[in-house]
Amino acid sequence: MVDLYGQYFKIKDEVNEAIQEVMDSSAFIKGPAVKNFETKLAEFCSVEHVVSCGNGTDALQIAMMALDFKAGDEVILPVHTYVATAEVIVLLGLKPVFVDVDPHTFNIDTTQIESKITDKTVAIVPVHLYGQCADMEALLKISKKYELKVIEDTAQALGALYTFSDGTVKQAGTMGDIGTTSFFPSKNLGCFGDGGALMINDASLTEKSRMIANHGQQKKYHHDVIGVNSRLDTMQAAILNVKLKYLNDYTLKRQQAASYYNEKLSEVEFLNTPYVASNSTHVYHQYTLTTEGIDRDEFKKYLADHGIPSMIYYPVPLHHQKAYKHLSSESFSVAEALSKTVISLPIHTEMDHEIQDIIIDKIKSF
């Protein structure tokens, strides 16, 4: 699905040198590379502050702790997403309120949000799924009207751009109160282990998030709030400092691979190529199609039998997951249908037409 070695190989000397520097300095926790990376990422995203942390799941949890949500508060999120989004909500004693997704973009259906708002609702958590921004203009209108906080789960969409109807362009993760992201190796900006960050424009919210990520302390051994231990390793920050320089190139490579797939697969009757909304760019964390008129699982097995990897993101919608199904008795027809029809093909920064043609030929012979 990805070619992490191929990507590393091209920048091996630069990355190895950065890692060696960290080892030579032995500043493994909160070394200079961490601050440096936070500054550079903030610049890249045109956001005031970046707070790094241990992973993208922690970033979501720290965001919700920093915003002072209380047990029993309701948080609205799409039902078609990675489990992390719902997991932290439940862990904090909050109540996840699922909303179905748009059948074209696979992102939260903003027309269904208002009917889910109660006097307990405190926030909406849009997920910019597969690399394309949710309909933020409509979502922010609702959040303003009801005075709700917005946390953007940007783990799959770092670098995606959203255009508002007045022409303003903003980076994914910088439109709400807090944006969270992940540097899991296979994400669009990945490190060599776990890593994550929060993107924030408000100074006091930044300070609070930074404290929470570091045991609730600003001054060592003086704990002002209850926090967690969630820091980005200096080693990972050093790697990210190198890789951030290439993120725009990486995005372009993914977009080029996607457009080649689009061109060749649009004529395949049993597949729908990804829809891209006019208000967002797509950074193709995943290249996700839907099948039509065939058995998706049979198709997936055929591909596997012919050596073509593919993945289902996600095979079971959250409200049907064993750990979460007690939280909602509703049905979500779009998410339920997508769990049976989505299929993601390999997409990464090292793809060329030769690899893609092999995949495309096998698909066509099915």
**Minimal distance in Å, beta carbon 78 to ligand PLP?**
10
Amino acid at residue number 244? L
Count the site residues for ligand PLP by CB under 6 A.
Answer: 15
Among the listed residues 155, 198, 235, 359, the single contact to ligand PLP using CB under 6 A = 155
Among the listed residues 96, 196, 317, 346, the single contact to ligand PLP using CB under 6 A = 196
**Minimal distance in Å, beta carbon 344 to ligand PLP?**
12
Q: Which residues are within 8 A (CB) of 168 and not within 5 positions of it... i.e. 6 or more apart?
A: none
Judged by CB under 6 A, the chain residues 19 through 78 that form the site for ligand PLP are 55-57
**Minimal distance in Å, beta carbon 60 to ligand PLP?**
6
Q: Could you confirm whether 149 is annotated as catalytic?
A: no
Does 81 engage in binding with ligand PLP (CB under 6 A)?
A: yes
Q: Which is nearer to ligand PLP, 173 or 227 (CB)?
A: 173
Among the listed residues 184, 260, 299, 366, the single contact to ligand PLP using CB under 6 A = 184
List 187, 208, 243, 264, catalytic entry: 187
**Minimal distance in Å, beta carbon 84 to ligand PLP?**
4
Q: What strands lie across the sheet with 342-345, from one edge to the other?
A: 271-272, 287-291, 342-345
Does 84 engage in binding with ligand PLP (CB under 6 A)?
A: yes
Q: What strands lie across the sheet with 149-153, from one edge to the other?
A: 49-53, 196-200, 178-182, 149-153, 121-124, 74-78, 95-99
Amino acid at residue number 104? H
Could you list the beta-strand ranges (E) of 141-274: 149-153, 161-163, 169-171, 178-182, 196-200, 217-219, 222-223, 271-272
Residues 76, 124 contacting (CB under 8 angstroms): yes
Q: What is the CA radius of gyration of the chain?
A: 20
Q: Which is nearer to ligand PLP, 196 or 317 (CB)?
A: 196
Among the listed residues 102, 109, 153, 177, the single contact to ligand PLP using CB under 6 A = 153
Give the number of C-alpha atoms closer than 13 A to the C-alpha of residue 262, restricted to the C-beta side: 11
Token code pair at residue 269: 């009757």
- Helices 234-244 & 247-265 angle (0-180, nearest 10): 60
Buried b (16+ CB within 10 A) or exposed e, 238-260: bbbbbbbebbeebbebbbebbeb
Binding segment for ligand PLP (CB under 6 A), chosen from 17-25, 79-87, 165-173, 217-225, is 79-87
Residues 332, 79 contacting (CB under 8 angstroms): yes
Does 130 engage in binding with ligand PLP (CB under 6 A)?
A: no
**Minimal distance in Å, beta carbon 59 to ligand PLP?**
7
Does 127 engage in binding with ligand PLP (CB under 6 A)?
A: yes
**Minimal distance in Å, beta carbon 56 to ligand PLP?**
3
Q: Which is nearer to ligand PLP, 139 or 360 (CB)?
A: 139
Interface residues with ligand PLP (CB under 6 A)? 55-57, 81-82, 84-85, 127, 153, 155-156, 182, 184, 194, 196
Q: Which amino acids are annotated catalytic?
A: 187
